[in-house]
Amino acid sequence: MAQTLRLLSRRDVSDSAYVLRLERGDFSFAPGQYLTLGEAGGAETREYSIYSGMQDPYLEVLIKEVAGGSVSRRLRRLAPGSELRCDGPFGFFTLGNGLADRLADEHADRPLLWVATGTGIAPFHSFVTSYGDLDYLLLHGVRAPSECYEREAYPAERYLACVSEPNAAMPGPAEHRSFAGRVTAYLRHHAVAAGTRCFLCGNSAMIFEVFDLLKRQGVPSADIAAEVYF
């Protein structure tokens, strides 16, 4: 159901990406779902995965400002206190039933592989913020280290940046690992363990290629969930 929410703050996480924090009101969601967002009274809205955790008293979305993109540019320039139209939540890209202490049985005791490109990391940030001890590996495909949005939110051993920019140097502590190449190159050389549940979120080209790679490694289609970012 559509409602009007106030903008609380904005924080930039790179030159082109930012996080909007909104008042939450009575908005409820399951981690992994998305909402539609636009200026109150405006005609245009866009879909954004929810970035914040289920227990947070606010809503957050991770947005990349697109060159020539009307909504992403206008939202970045709004002042705190501005009113936004928010509708949702939508989608089924979730781990379970939305309760932090009761994941669906098929996920509770199984290893998880999360594969994201760019701002497709948003639903995984919501997973980590919402749930406790999850056995996951997050592969984050980025062009440059500057796109490793708030990687400190993830334990170093569970986050791996796959950086496609040649000779990119990863800043920060040595425990933050990186792989020189795309997520698809990493997966060609690192087989997925049997029983792993795989979640893919990002551009369609990555999803199609990773889906094929996982199938060739013997991962059943039923163990692969995908959310395409256009």
3-state secondary structure 50-96: ECCCCCCCEEEEEEECCCCCHHHHHHHCCCCCCEEEEEEEECCCCCC
Asked if residue 121 belongs to a domain, the reply is yes
116 and 160, same domain (yes or no) = yes
Q: Any residues with CB less than 8 A from the CB of 18 and at least 6 apart, and which?
A: 10, 11, 12, 62, 63, 65, 76
- With residues binned 3-state (H G I as helix, E B as strand, rest as coil), the percentages for the chain, rounded to 5, are 25, 35, 45
pLDDT at site 193: 92
Of 42, 63, 90, the residue that ends a domain is 90
Number of domains into which the chain is organized: 2
Of 47, 62, 90, the residue that ends a domain is 90
What does the longest C-alpha to C-alpha distance in the chain come to?
A: 51
83 and 126, same domain (yes or no) = no
Of 64, 90, 116, the residue that ends a domain is 90
pLDDT at site 230: 58
Question: Is-contact 4 40, C-beta < 8 A?
Answer: yes
pLDDT at site 5: 96
pLDDT at site 99: 45
Question: Is-contact 217 191, C-beta < 8 A?
Answer: yes
What CATH number has the domain bearing residue 27?
2.40.30.10
50 - beta bridge partners? 61
192 and 111, same domain (yes or no) = yes
23 - beta bridge partners? 58
pLDDT at site 98: 47
Q: Containing domain of residue 209, as a range?
A: 105-228
40 and 153, same domain (yes or no) = no
pLDDT at site 43: 84
pLDDT at site 101: 45
d(CA 128, CA 109): 16
Reading the chain (230 residues) residue by residue, the pLDDT tens digits are 789 999 999 999 999 999 999 999 899 999 999 999 999 988 899 999 999 999 999 999 999 998 888 899 999 999 999 999 999 999 999 997 544 444 544 455 789 999 999 999 999 999 999 998 899 999 999 999 999 999 999 999 999 999 998 666 555 555 567 899 999 999 999 999 999 999 999 999 999 999 999 999 999 999 999 999 85
Asked if residue 55 belongs to a domain, the reply is yes
pLDDT at site 66: 87
What Å distances lie between residue 171 and 92, 175, 203, 230, CA to CA?
Answer: 35, 11, 25, 29
86 and 137, same domain (yes or no) = no
24 and 135, same domain (yes or no) = no
Which amino acid, residue 109?
A: D
What CATH number has the domain bearing residue 121?
3.40.50.80
81 and 129, same domain (yes or no) = no
pLDDT at site 114: 98
